[in-house]
Amino acid sequence: MKNFISLSKDSVNHSYHQGTGKVPILAYKKEKNLLSPLPNKRIRDFYKIDHHLVKVNTSNMITYKSNQYSVPAGYIGKTVGLQVYDNHIYVYYNTECITEHVISQLKINYRRDHYIETLTTSLPHTENIEEMAKKNLEAIDEAYKNE
């Protein structure tokens, strides 16, 4: 199988590319002297974005550095990707950014819309969900603010 793959690469590199009308290996030989080397590792690492895979818990939360952050309802049990930069956490499911949070020192970080969506899903026939969410979130903030 290994020989088949390398033969396939060779045949592709030596045949005309439909888009450019050029033979890739010949274009590479022409252009390789014009290519610049990559910057040193220290400079490359400065631009590197950390990417972590985490599983959404049963409360629609993910954990980053011992603190929990909410995601939209419906992601319980799914693995999502976290990208961390500029003091923000960006949460992705496949390639879709599903939420963003400012990195916080608080243990529990719910976005109000996520909490309301989760309550609506779990308590579909309850009236005044928004008022219930407001009171619950205030209680959560109070309970975890000094931790």
Q: pLDDT per residue over 37-80, tens digit each?
A: 888 888 887 777 778 999 999 989 999 999 999 999 999 999 99
> For residue range 76-123, what is the model confidence (pLDDT) as tens digits?
999 999 999 889 999 999 999 999 999 999 999 999 999 999 888 888
Distant-in-sequence contacts of 120-129, Cβ < 8 A, 24+ apart: 120/73, 121/73, 121/74
Q: pTM of the entire structure?
A: 0.67
